[in-house]
Amino acid sequence: MKNLILIAPPATGKGTLAKALKERYGYIHISTGDMLRESVAKGDELGQKISDIMKSGALVPDEIIYELLEAKLQSSDGYILDGFPRNLEQAKKYEEIVANIGGEEAIVLVLDIDKEKLKTRCTGRRSCPKCGRIYNIYNPEMNPKDDKYCLDCGSEVIWREDDKIETFEKRYSTYLELTEPLIEYYSNKGNLYRINAGGTSGETLNEALKILGLGE
């Protein structure tokens, strides 16, 4: 199973695609956003610092990310990196880590979607604070139970601070400035594939499966 990196603007559906691939094919889902939210939940000084940065829509310092990620990559094969790398430095660090642990570099899937569609997805998005499952109140296929509860673990879903419109705008410009340049970087390396993510989550999954040679 190939290792994968997902690159997409915020709220495109990276997490939903990763979850589907995990459930069907046993990929290991590594989400740096989820790891950071776990650190925030601990409520210590570091967690508070991370929380403030995430609410601002900026990126968390690279060193914090590397610390969280390195051990995880060491013990995983057949993984999906969701939310990492987010800038060129992280992409180079990733190559260094892979070389150190003797692993195989991931192929890159870019999820394309237009900004207006994204805004609706983002403001309608609700998340389970416990298991991380994503819902959308504007999409009947992705509603939580009774409009409120996680279908997997029963927790009450929340509207994440960083999914509110002001933070979305900041996250989107952070994406354009720092993350989008990775598309050219990986394109030049010749290991990048593009997917139209403007349709349903099922359609996005099917496109990914075709690229991975797993389509029916």
Q: Does 29 help bind ligand AMP (rule: CB under 6 A)?
A: no
Q: Does 79 help bind ligand AMP (rule: CB under 6 A)?
A: no
Q: Does 36 help bind ligand AMP (rule: CB under 6 A)?
A: yes
Q: Does 73 help bind ligand AMP (rule: CB under 6 A)?
A: no
Exactly one of 28, 33, 79, 109 binds ligand AMP (CB under 6 A); that residue is: 33
Find the shortest distance in angstroms from Cβ 15 to ligand AMP. Answer: 7
Exactly one of 5, 7, 59, 192 binds ligand AMP (CB under 6 A); that residue is: 59
Q: Which is nearer to ligand AMP, 46 or 210 (CB)?
A: 46
Rounded to an integer, what distance in angstroms lies between the CA atom of residue 175 and that of residue 168?
A: 10
Give helix 62-74 / helix 88-101 axis angle, nearest 10°.
30
Q: Does 131 help bind ligand AMP (rule: CB under 6 A)?
A: no
Enclosing H/E stretch for 82 = strand 79-82
Which of the 8 DSSP states describes residue 141? G
- Paired with 25 in beta bridges are none
- Paired with 108 in beta bridges are 5, 192
Instruction: Clarify whether 164 is annotated catalytic.
Output: no
- Measure the N-to-C terminal CA separation of the chain; round to a whole number of Å: 17
Place of tokens 């403007």: 198
Residues in the chain: 216
Q: Does 162 help bind ligand AMP (rule: CB under 6 A)?
A: yes
Binding region for ligand AMP (CB under 6 A): 10, 32-33, 36, 53-54, 59-60, 65, 83-84, 86, 90, 162, 171
